[in-house]
């Protein structure tokens, strides 16, 4: 069996991305292996899809907003100026991600590195940074379509031995089981986890409120995200301001906010909060006969971006606040057999 460090990611991604763009969009891409760009400026669209199982990881694709319209026009056979909404663009990026991620997943499984895919997620905007922590191998790929740039990132890690023993392996999940997503009680595991985290562990009092985010201009936000994959598919987004994220970090580390050296410490603590919220939801889903696996947390930070939960059967939003700080937890679920 191969390891994540010997698996030939570059050849697989270079071939797959070019084949998918040629087949679906009739676009010829040039792969530049000497360029390892991982960031794009201006209006852009970022699509992500997770791999979970004995191998954990992520695949991202990032393109400029203008080029995303050209891509959508090609797939739908319409003029880019006739695209009516961002929903059409999001569907196209999501479909490309499913194909690229699915091809990589199949190759990993063939190499004995078993995993399954999450649902795709989309981020749009002008000012944001995306990061997934705790991955042991990261590869960045740059493609060109004439003057347009397509950035692809693949990150991989082996599942921890202890965690691997406790979780159902992908090949043992029964994806034919019919599950009752609409009848599942989402509220209890989410509110229970938040109460335990903030009231008990952090000694930060929070109150329930309408599920919305503060719209003050120039406010910097941090969103921690975790995907669920298995008999049920889904995603959890935990939205807070960067200011409040530092308050949480100070409480968790028992230090003063001004002693926090950088955002890495903050993301570690927010990631732990995301893991606890998602873990509580996963346990409730498992108890309800809907076993699933969790991805590593990823983070989106910035002042101008929107995140979308794509093609989910059920989406619930839970709002809380501490003093003048808003908290929003988004949960989206769907059965995997759809």
Are residues 150 and 234 both part of a single domain?
A: no
Dihedral-angle region of residue 285 (phi above 0 means left; psi in -120 to 50 means alpha; beta otherwise): alpha
Judging by DSSP bridges, how do beta strands 115-117 and 30-31 pair with one another?
Answer: unpaired
What pLDDT score does 170 carry? 45
Specify the number of domains making up the chain. Answer: 2
Are residues 125 and 214 both part of a single domain?
A: no
CB of 244 closer than 8 Å to CB of 294: no
Query: For the chain, what is the total number of helices (H) and then of strands (E)?
Result: 7, 14
Q: Which class for 147: exposed (0-12), middle (13-18), buried (19 or more C-beta within 10 A)?
A: exposed
Are residues 181 and 122 both part of a single domain?
A: no
Are residues 198 and 266 both part of a single domain?
A: yes
What pLDDT score does 336 carry? 86
Q: Give the whole-angstrom CA distance, residue 301 versus residue 275.
A: 18
Which of 131, 161, 191 lies at the terminal end of a domain, its last residue? 161
Local confidence pLDDT in tens for the 338 residues of the chain: 688 999 999 999 999 999 999 999 999 999 998 777 778 889 999 999 999 998 999 999 999 999 999 999 999 999 999 998 889 999 999 999 999 999 999 999 999 999 999 999 999 999 999 999 889 999 999 999 999 999 999 999 988 655 545 444 444 555 555 788 999 999 999 999 999 999 999 999 999 998 776 555 578 999 999 999 998 999 999 999 999 999 999 999 999 988 898 888 999 999 999 999 999 999 999 999 899 999 999 999 999 999 998 889 999 999 999 999 999 999 999 998 75
Q: Give the whole-angstrom CA distance, residue 72 versus residue 320.
A: 37
- The CATH number of whichever domain residue 191 belongs to comes to 3.40.1550.10
* pTM, rounded to two decimals: 0.92
Look at residue 1 and tell me if it is in a domain: no
How many other CB atoms are there within 10 angstroms of residue 145's CB atom? 17
CA distances from 155 to 89, 101, 125, 246 (A): 24, 12, 23, 27
Are residues 180 and 112 both part of a single domain?
A: no
Are residues 146 and 16 both part of a single domain?
A: yes
Structure tokens belonging to residue 199: 């009231």
What pLDDT score does 167 carry? 47
3-class DSSP assignment, residue 165: helix
List 48's β-bridge partners, or say none.
60, 121
User: What domain range includes position 244?
Assistant: 173-335
Are residues 97 and 186 both part of a single domain?
A: no
Structure tokens belonging to residue 20: 């998918």
Structure tokens belonging to residue 132: 């997934």
């Amino acid at each position: 069996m191969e390891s994540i460090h010997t698996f030939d990611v570059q050849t697989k991604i270079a071939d797959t991305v070019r084949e998918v763009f040629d087949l679906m969009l009739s676009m010829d891409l040039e792969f530049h292996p000497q360029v390892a760009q991982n960031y794009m400026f201006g209006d852009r669209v970022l699509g992500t899809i997770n791999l979970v199982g004995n191998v954990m990881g992520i695949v991202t694709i990032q393109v400029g907003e203008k080029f995303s319209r050209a891509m959508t026009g090609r797939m739908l056979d319409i003029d880019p100026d006739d695209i009516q909404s961002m929903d059409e663009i999001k569907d196209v990026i999501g479909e490309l991600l499913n194909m690229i991620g699915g091809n990589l997943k199949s190759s990993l499984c063939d190499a004995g590195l078993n995993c399954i895919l999450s649902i795709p997620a989309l981020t749009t905007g002008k000012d944001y940074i995306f990061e997934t922590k705790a991955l042991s191998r990261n590869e960045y790929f740059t493609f060109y379509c004439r003057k347009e740039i397509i950035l692809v990132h693949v990150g991989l890690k082996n599942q921890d031995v202890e965690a691997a023993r406790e979780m159902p392996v992908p090949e043992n999940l029964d994806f034919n089981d019919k599950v009752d997503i609409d009848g599942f009680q989402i509220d209890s595991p989410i509110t229970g986890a938040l109460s335990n985290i903030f009231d008990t562990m952090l000694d930060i009092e929070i109150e329930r409120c309408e599920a919305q985010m503060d719209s003050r201009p120039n406010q910097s936000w941090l969103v921690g995200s975790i995907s669920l994959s298995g008999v049920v598919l889904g995603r959890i987004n935990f939205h807070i301001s960067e200011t409040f994220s530092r308050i949480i970090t100070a409480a968790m580390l028992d230090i003063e906010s001004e002693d926090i050296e950088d955002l890495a410490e903050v993301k570690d603590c927010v990631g732990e909060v995301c893991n606890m919220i998602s873990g509580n939801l996963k346990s409730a889903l498992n108890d309800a006969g809907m076993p699933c696996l969790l991805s590593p947390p990823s983070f989106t930070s910035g002042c101008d971006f929107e995140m979308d939960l794509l093609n989910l059967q059920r989406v619930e939003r839970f709002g809380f606040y501490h003093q003048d700080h808003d908290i929003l937890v988004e949960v989206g679920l769907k059965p995997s057999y759809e």
